[in-house]
Structure 1
Amino acid sequence: MEKNLLEQLNLWHEEDEFKQIIDRILEIPEQDRDYDVISHLARAMNNLERYEEALQQLLTIEKQGENDPLWHIRAGYAYYYLEQYEDAVREFETADQLDPKDETTLSFLSWSRQELIAMNRKRKWSMAMQARNEQSSKNGAGKVPFEGFDLTNFWKDSDYALKNYVSEPPTDELIASIELELGYTLPASYIAMMKLHNGGLPINTRFPTGEATSWAEDHIAIEGIMGIGREKPYSLCAEFGSRFMIEEWGYPDIGVVICDCPSAGHDVVMLDYRKCGRNGEPEVIHVDQERDYEITYLAENFEAFIRGLVHADFYDTSEEDMQEDLRKVAHEEFSPLLSELCARVTEVDNMEEIIRAICTRIVEEKGYFAFHADELSTLMYDLQFWLYTKSYPHTGRGQYLTAYEKIIAFGGSFSTGGYAPGFISDWMDDRIRQGMIVGTNDALAFTDTAIEQLLEKLGAFAPAT
């Protein structure tokens, strides 16, 4: 590439003049465009959200870009926004191998992995639902309520459920009086289910959604299904029933609250009669008080809703989350403050590796990266305080509590992503009470004995030589 052209393209890039970059490069005959020119063209296309075109350009120089981290970053970027997350993970992992600890690469790699987990979960649910629907079709589902659907293992009859939800099967007279009180005809499938088991806690408590709610990005959770009756607290016309949720909690008067949720009133599942009228077949919706009573469509009818419920384990990402946190504590970049503090340590070697080893053990024991009041967390509180006060010896209580979050809690990519201030203040109070931290509110520090004890503990995590 000519030097003047390269300077002009870089100038346009800094000025966000991406269209000018593309127009100028497209004036060059295709056979005369070299690796650098095509790289600039793909970058500009990415910046204008023309991801497919950017990817096409990058693939023409794939062999030349094999060892160029920028090529893999740009390809990964295009794949990410094309929602091809498996390919994005592959490219960002390669970029990280070629240029370790690049902040942009690590951020996109983490996001790509998270999106891949979510996408695979949705695929799994879609396949499960397809198989279930095919099986239901074979069994003639829909002709008779819940035909071909196993209701014998549907409920979890705990003492709590029996006390608060489950009533005797309703009589036709009770059903009629409940419908009169509610002002709506209840769905035939719901009545059929309640005649077999009148309310309770289901084993499957999650229902997938196409959009985020206050509960999760891709599903809602229910606590129990209200039975037909007035006696048990969580039945349709009882103490915490449908009318109570509408009149006292402000839920829209468009149907019947049929399920409560784990939020203790802050979201519910309702039968929605707006389209069908009071005597028709209602849709099932989720209503979210936390989002100004936002309504999310769930299912075309009650039976479809019940058939679509899945177990909570379906959305259990703890293993994936643990693996991501293990990767984070092993490879993510320290905050500027933590890097500065580690660089000033002379008492022990390999302070960074020691911190990573301790945090790895924390993730292995907890399943995630967080500090609480356990032994290893306390060790990390001690270590951070010693590192900080060693570099900043005139540190008071308030100053340290303010600085704490910049070390690891909110320290960038190597971060717990938050903390409970009470744990830190309780830890400091304990150490002062034990005589391990001494001084005044304007200048606190570990005693020599406390430092010796800390260094001895750190030695157990030092890398083998």
Structure 2
Amino acid sequence: MDYSLIEQLDQWHEDDDHQRIVDALTAIPEKDREYDAVNRLGRAYNNLGLYEEGLHQFEIISEAGKQDPLWHFRVGYALYHLKRYEDALQAFRKADLLEPADEKTELWLSWSLQKAEKQRKEAQRIAAKLKAKQEILGGTTSELPFANLSLDDFWEDSEYAKDSYQSDPPTDELIQSIEQELGYKLPSSYIALMKHHNGGVPKNTCFRTDEPTSWAEDHIAITGILGIGRDKSYSLCGDLGSPFMIEEWGYPDIGVVICDCPSAGHDVVMLDYRNCGRDGEPEVIHVDQEDDYEITFLADNFEAFVRGLISEEEFDTSEEDKEADLYRVASGNFSPLLEELCSRVTEVEQIEQKIRRICTRIVEEKGHFSFHADELSHLMYDVQFWLYIKSYPDTSRDQYLDVYQNIIAFGGEFGQGGYAPSFISDWLDQRKKEGKIIQDHGRVKFTDAYAKNVIQQLNQA
């Protein structure tokens, strides 16, 4: 390719203007596109979320890409987002073999391994369920729902629950109308529970899981169970009900959102009709928006889910967790990158202690060491950004989002063991909108005035 075109493509990539890359490269006749042009085109499609298109481009140059670790990485990236985790795992393994110890490859390799294992277990579970099904449906329908379970003490009635969730018991006409609107037949056990108490907040709000979720290592939590109706915000067809969560929040159109969660929309519990059809008995799943709508199986049916709800007190290790995190932020070793960045600071005396003080305040307020969208978290996003850009001024937005995890999120002893990427990108976009972060020739940085503000906050910490 012409050198000036390469420079322009690099600039557009740094500016996140991936559509212009696609337009420029697709303007070149396909037979005239060299290996680098096709590889860049595939990357641009990946960055636009068009993973099938990206994969198609990589397949065109598959023979030439066999010994290119970057080609294998980009193939794995597309496959991962297409949820083809076994194939993604093989691609990242090949990239790692060709270029060992690359941190980015190793991270995606570990994620792919986790997802592939989960996908294998899910396939085995479904196969076993289908094999054992036989005449189970006939056996279960003869029993009344929730036999031997007292529902009188099930609900936590409060003014909030009554205002947001609870409606009058549904009529058969309303049930039929809601089912038609949703396009799914509601489980008989759910209808029975709603005729007893139509929506609300249960006393027990936790459900055990076999694997970690965005909420906890071993369980999920719900806020309430949506009732049958349209009038209450948290009813199946209310303004925050199932159609809203699927159409506006992007949850998969595979069933019905049945419970909201404490994350205020970032995860939900759904009835999953994929294996039973729209008129069958759905399974119950947890769907995590923060992890690309990751699905975790919870229960074979709604009644089993309700029977499996337990008190949050069974998982209350908050005091122990808080003490451990206070010790971590006070004494844990900084990551090599954070240590390097702090060593170059002259504007703030005892920068390490200032960072530890801010993080101690975060743990004291939240009870754990994590950054979200609150004021102190935004201050720590500011501090990390200022530290990194001060040492590496030629950094693009994408490059910073990639390296962020190595500062504190996965920082070892002084680290959080994970993070939600959307919080970081949302913070960065907010600072750009506020005019506090500017982008110049693809490079991002604070304005001089805002950098001084961050320094001042650090000095006051």
TM-score, normalising length: structure 2: 0.44
TM-score, normalising length: structure 1: 0.44
Which one has the largest radius of gyration? 1
